[in-house]
Chains A and B, each alone.
Chain A
Amino acid sequence: MPPMKAKITPADGVREILRKRVPRAKDLDDLPDELQLGEGGLGLDSIALVELLLECERLFRLPPPLALLDGPPLTVGLLAEHVRASACR
């Protein structure tokens, strides 16, 4: 009997994308929820941030993430929560 595949959660999916796209994320053992994506965290510039969100939009079929950017500094946890909440809708 083949081993059961573990279900990938939105949080895992977001972390996988970050590790794939962001050089600084590849070097970190852990990407905690409170880690900021921009200044003071993973250091994504404005264009890299938009490209990351576009990839999430495409992969997880999210609506354009304007509201997400128009709020507090974006963190790994906030992005994962946005993906999870959008998937539930």
Chain B
Amino acid sequence: MPVSQAARRSFDFLERCLSHVAEHWPQLSLSAGGHVGRLRNRLSQRWPSPEQVHTLFPSLSRHEAATVAWKIGGIEARNRILARYLEKDGDRMLPGLMPRPAPVLSRLHPPLILGFFHVGAPHALGAVFEWLPVPVLALRLGLRRPAVPTLTVLTIEGSTQQRALVFSRAMAHLRACGVVASALDFVSGPSLTVPFLGRSLELARGPFAMARLAGVPLVPLAARWYGGTVEVEVGDELVADGFSSPEICERKLATAATGWLENYLRSDPGEMGLGLLHRLVLSSDK
């Protein structure tokens, strides 16, 4: 067996063990997972490679790009451990990831749409939603048992009409002064493309159209790991102006949301999600 294959299997095994350890010591397991992921990236120089990081952040030196790649590798390993654990027992673990409400959450005034990107710790957002003062309706691909009692999950999978039904339910939730949470960078239906990090990024149109139609603000946010717990970063409220055409209005919202993310990632490129990074690198190869 080639050394690289043996090493990959060893790291996979280690991560599986850590997801079992998470049942008893979640913070320890996630924190250790971060170190294992860093080491894995450092040895493999892959997922992502320093060159890929440098392609997206050309102002970084080679050494800085390598350090960012290690961090992304560590975050990805934590995310894999958490995702594996959530499939088994999300109810028990998620609340412990954010033991106290983040002060920035007091800036949120429902009704509103929380638009997140696949950066940092997206699987841990349920822990953030638990601290919101109103019920949260999360839109995601595929159903998963809600991790906290105030969270409802609807899937965006299905036919056009099924997605329209989910959209309408989310609108009704906003009318009742709730919070709707949705990924902005995952496209399962209508989309729009905006500039991002010198490239272009395809976003889901739904959350922006929803903000426009419901007349509620969209707030970009991202969760990030801090040891074995999570922190959250929240942007300013982005409000749909009532004067532009629907297309221009949605594009303005989308550009503002990605502008927030771009600033966030430029200040800490290691928070870039591996999937998002690959999408952007591939789009630049075209």
Closest B residue by C-beta to A47: B209
Query: Which of A47, A51, A73 has the most chain B CB atoms inside 10 A of its CB?
Result: A47
**Cβ contact within 8 Å between B171 and A50:** yes
Classify chain A: how many residues form its interface, as a range.
10 to 19
Q: Does A38 reach chain B (CB closer than 8 Å)? A: yes
**What's the least CB distance linking B286 to chain A, in Å?**
25
Select A74's contact among B161, B189, B205, beta carbons within 8 Å.
B161
Cα-based distance from A70 to B165 in the complex (angstroms): 7
Partner of A73, one of B161, B167, B189: B161
Cβ contacts B147-159/A at 8 Å (1 or 0 each)? 0000000000001
Contacts of B213 in A (CB 8 A): 50-51, 54
Taking the complex as formed, is B43 at the interface, i.e. its CB lies under 8 A from any CB of chain A? no
In the complex, whether A87 has a CB less than 8 A from a CB of chain B is no
A65 to B167, CA, bound (A): 11
The answer for the CA separation of A74 and B213 in the assembled complex, in Å, is 21
Minimal Cβ-Cβ distance residue in A for B190: A45
- A46 to B160: give the CA distance in the assembly, Å: 5
Provide the A17-29 mask, 1 if CB < 8 A to any CB of B, else 0: 0000000000000
Shortest distance between the CB of B279 and any CB in chain A (Å) = 22
- Complex interface residues of chain A between 29 and 81 (CB less than 8 A to chain B): 38-39, 44-47, 49-51, 53-54, 64-66, 69-70, 73-74
Return chain A residues, CB-CB under 8 Å to B209. Answer: 47, 50-51
- The reply to whether A38 and B160 form a contact with Cβ atoms under 8 Å apart is yes
For the complex, what is the distance from the CA of A18 to the CA of B93, rounded to whole Å? 49
Q: Output the least CB separation between A53 and chain B (Å).
A: 7
- Given A54-B213, A66-B169, A66-B172, are A49 and B159 neighbors across the interface (CB < 8 Å)? no
- Chain B interface main SS type: helix
Q: Is B164 an interface residue (CB 8 A)?
A: yes
CA distance A11 to B22 in the complex (A): 59
Partner of A69 from B168, B190, B206 at Cβ < 8 Å: B168
Given contacts A38-B159, A50-B213, contact A45 B189 (CB under 8 A): yes
Contact between A49 and B161, CB atoms less than 8 A apart: yes
From the candidates A39, A47, A66, name the one contacting B165 in the complex (CB within 8 A): A66
Rounded to whole Å, the gap between the CB of A34 and the closest CB of chain B is 15
Residue on B with the closest CB to A52?
A: B164
Distance from A7 Cβ to chain B, minimum over Cβ atoms (Å)? 30
> Distance (Å) between the CB of A15 and the closest chain B CB?
20
Min Cβ gap A36→B in Å is 9
> Can you name 8 extra interface pairs (CB under 8 A) apart from A38-B159, A49-B160, A66-B168?
A39-B160, A46-B189, A49-B164, A50-B164, A64-B168, A66-B169, A69-B165, A70-B165
Q: What are 30 A-to-B residue pairs whose CB atoms are below 8 Å?
A: A38-B161, A44-B160, A45-B160, A45-B190, A46-B189, A46-B190, A47-B164, A47-B189, A47-B190, A47-B205, A49-B160, A50-B164, A50-B167, A50-B209, A51-B209, A51-B213, A53-B164, A53-B168, A54-B213, A64-B168, A64-B172, A65-B168, A66-B165, A66-B168, A66-B172, A69-B165, A69-B168, A70-B165, A73-B159, A74-B161
Using a CB–CB distance below 8 Å, which chain B residues touch chain A?
Answer: 159-161, 163-165, 167-169, 171-172, 189-190, 205-206, 209, 213
Interface set of A (CB-CB < 8 Å, partner B): 38-39, 44-47, 49-51, 53-54, 64-66, 69-70, 73-74
